[in-house]
Amino acid sequence: GAPNVSTATAVREQHGHDESMHPCAPPDAVVWPRSVGQVQELAALCYNHRVPMVPFGTGTGLEGGVNAVQGGVCFDLSRMDTIAELSLEDFSVTVEPGVTRKALNSHLRGTGLWFPVGTVGMG
């Protein structure tokens, strides 16, 4: 429920496009899950009712991947922003999908490590 779900036109339009040239194709609803369990429950509901699911990170993609061309539910993962584990020894970090490159670099400040622009997997 609210504030974790929205069907407002402005919110849907914000989530219906990225930085690509493709026209806006808004989803029918936007949800902000806060845990893996919530994502699993939402995905099961969508699957069982044959509703398209569209993941959304920061909306900076260039491919039109967030456009909900068949409607559906947009999963905005920005509130799943925990940095779970950092291993300086093997240069690995475990993050939730809402962790941005800037947030990760802020967390890494002082360790001698950084996450450069253009690395696959982070927005």
Q: Which domain holds residue 104?
A: 81-114
In a domain, 45, yes or no: yes
pTM, two decimals, is 0.83
Same domain as 55, residue 95: no
Asked whether residue 58 is assigned to any structural domain, the reply reads yes
CA distance 13 to 28: 10
For the chain, what is the domain count?
2
Give the strands of the sheet with 5-6, arranged side by side: 5-6, 29-31, 73-76, 53-56
Largest CA distance in the chain: 48
Kindly list the averaged pLDDT for each block of 10 residues, start to end, along the chain of length 123: 92 94 96 96 97 92 91 96 93 92 93 77 47
Q: Is 71 a member of any domain?
A: yes
CATH of residue 48's domain is 3.30.43.10
pLDDT at 7: 96
